[in-house]
Amino acid sequence: METSHVLEVLDVVEETADAHSVTFAIPDDLAEAFRYTPGQFLTVAVPSDQTGVAARCYSFSSSPHADPTRVTITVKRTADGYASNWICDNLKPGSTLRVLPPSGIFTPKDLDADLMLLAGGSGITPIMSITRTALAHGTGRIVIFYANRDENSVIFARELSELAAAHPDRLQVVHWLESVQGLPTQEQLRAFAADRLDHDAFCCGPAPFMKMAMAALKELEFPRERRHQEKFISLGGNPFGDIAEAEQAEAEIDAAEHDELGDDEPGSGDPAPAPAVAGPVKVEAELDGETYSFDDWDGRCTLLEFLESKGVKAPFSCREGECSACAVAVLEGDLQMAHNDVLDDDDLADGIRLGCQSTPLTEVVRVTYSG
Ligand SMILES: Cc1cc2nc3c(=O)[nH]c(=O)nc-3n(C[C@H](O)[C@H](O)[C@H](O)COP(=O)(O)OP(=O)(O)OC[C@H]3O[C@@H](n4cnc5c(N)ncnc54)[C@H](O)[C@@H]3O)c2cc1C
Ligand code: FES
């Protein structure tokens, strides 16, 4: 389990009636652990008297280059949701919250590239971090398509108009209000994107908006490697590894050991899939410019667990197949996943797999984390 840390809230700003930005202080000794890139997210442990912890991911709206002693997330209330309402109702300056270090792959590789940013509702949060950072530290043009229910629900409305006024040659913001124009259709999104096929696209918003936007980009044959999406879903599990989780993990190990002894009860629990290859597997993983090679993966644990056992700091967040922080592109061989809630058919066809859910299908596996 990754180490969690308790951060203190410095400031809470009500952005709209139902969205709050929460700024946390980063003490000097955690500066390295909390270094992040624009578009990444924080995983927070919202206290719950039902489950102990409700783990949820929230994207940074702040720019990593602005002030390394503080980070800001922006949380929009979900109707009938638990964690988002708890955060908006309870956090104030001086409150503390347990969090995991930054994670995520929804982040531009090149801040100088031209960017097409498609946001719906709270999906503006990572888009804001990318915009603030690219304007201050990049050189490309940025166009934002930002869809909202109505004028009152536009988060960061004033700052976006100020940024557009300050950078007229680089930033264009196109607001789309459902109350005025109706929901944007696939055709309208396709028309918007058609002139920007050479941009890097980042899309984040409610599921129907994302579906429409991604379908529009696919229709335009927008290259897969420049098409990025961040799905906002609630984690089902608890990556904080508290006592209850540790006990559950122990129980699962016990059960797995029983299975090995022939005490198998099909359908009970959610065991890791049986290894598809008998012998030890050779694995090569490219990560952050390094190549790691091993030849003794027995295929029983996941790629993420195997790399961690070798001391490789492979990225992850939920460990549940729900967030894509651990995504790899397969360069040789193949992997099978136990569970996948985030990758679509195109991702799978492109050889993208979730490291936290993957076991080998072939005796040689080569992957990259920078695909
Ligand atoms: C990578 C990523 C980035 C994200 N970034 C953002 C962002 O920047 N801004 C943003 O607003 N959202 C963001 N999200 C979405 C966010 O993580 C949550 O999914 C969202 O806030 C809804 O959570 P919720 O608990 O309020 O609602 P729900 O998840 O809909 O709440 C209902 C769930 O909570 C459970 N529940 C109800 N009561 C309790 C209780 N007392 N204790 C424990 N569980 C309970 C229910 O069983 C049910 O499963 C992001 C998600 C991801 C994956
Ligand atoms: S760590 Fe979230 S999908 Fe693998």
Q: How far is CA 103 from the centre of its chain?
A: 7
* Residue of minimum CA distance from atom 51 in ligand 1: 232
The answer for 42, left when phi > 0, alpha when psi is -120 to 50, beta otherwise, is: beta
The predicted structure's pLDDT at residue 98: 96
pLDDT (average), residues 358-371: 91
- Report the chain's C-alpha Rg in angstroms: 21
The predicted structure's pLDDT at residue 268: 32
81 lines ligand 1 (CB under 6 A): yes
Q: Please state, as a whole number, how many other Cβ atoms lie within 10 Å of the Cβ of residue 365.
A: 26
Mean pLDDT of the residues in the chain: 89
48 token code pair: 């719950």
Contact 365, 283 (CB under 8 A): yes
Distance 315 CA to ligand 1 centre (A): 21
Return the half-sphere exposure (C-beta side, CA atoms, 13 A cut-off) of residue 98. 16
Measured from the alpha carbon of residue 235, the closest ligand is 1
231 lines ligand 2 (CB under 6 A): no
pLDDT (average), residues 70-79: 98
pLDDT digits (tens, 9 = 90+) for 201-242: 999 999 899 989 999 999 999 998 898 889 888 887 788 865
The predicted structure's pLDDT at residue 138: 97
Which is more confidently placed, 350 or 94? 94
Q: How far is CA 323 from the centre of its chain?
A: 5
pLDDT digits (tens, 9 = 90+) for 252-284: 434 443 333 333 332 333 445 567 887 799 999
Q: In which band, very low, low, confident or very high, does the pLDDT at 182 lie, cut at 50, 70 and 90?
A: very high
326 lines ligand 2 (CB under 6 A): yes
Determine which helix (DSSP H) or strand (DSSP E) holds 136, and give its type and residue range.
helix 124-137
Residue to substitute in 316, 339, 344 for testing ligand 2 pocket (most ligand atoms within 8 angstroms of CB): 316
- Above 60 in pLDDT, residue 46? yes
Least confident of 3-7, 263-267, 304-308, 322-326: 263-267
341 lines ligand 1 (CB under 6 A): no
Q: What's the CA gap between 108 and 3, in Å, rounded?
A: 26
The pTM (predicted TM-score) of the whole model is: 0.84
Which is more confidently placed, 362 or 317? 362
Phi, psi of 215 (to 5 degrees): -65, -40
Which is more confidently placed, 248 or 221? 221
Q: Which atom of ligand 2 is nearest to the CA of 327?
A: 4
The predicted structure's pLDDT at residue 143: 98
Q: What's the CA gap between 228 and 364, in Å, rounded?
A: 28
207 lines ligand 1 (CB under 6 A): no
Distance 252 CA to ligand 1 centre (A): 26
Q: In which band, very low, low, confident or very high, does the pLDDT at 167 lie, cut at 50, 70 and 90?
A: very high
Q: Which atom of ligand 2 is nearest to the CA of 324?
A: 3
The predicted structure's pLDDT at residue 234: 87
* Residue of minimum CA distance from atom 3 in ligand 2: 321
- Above 50 in pLDDT, residue 177? yes
pLDDT digits (tens, 9 = 90+) for 90-121: 999 999 999 998 988 888 989 999 999 999 99
pLDDT (average), residues 30-51: 94
| Percent of the chain residues topping a pLDDT of 90 | 71
* Residue of minimum CA distance from atom 32 in ligand 1: 81
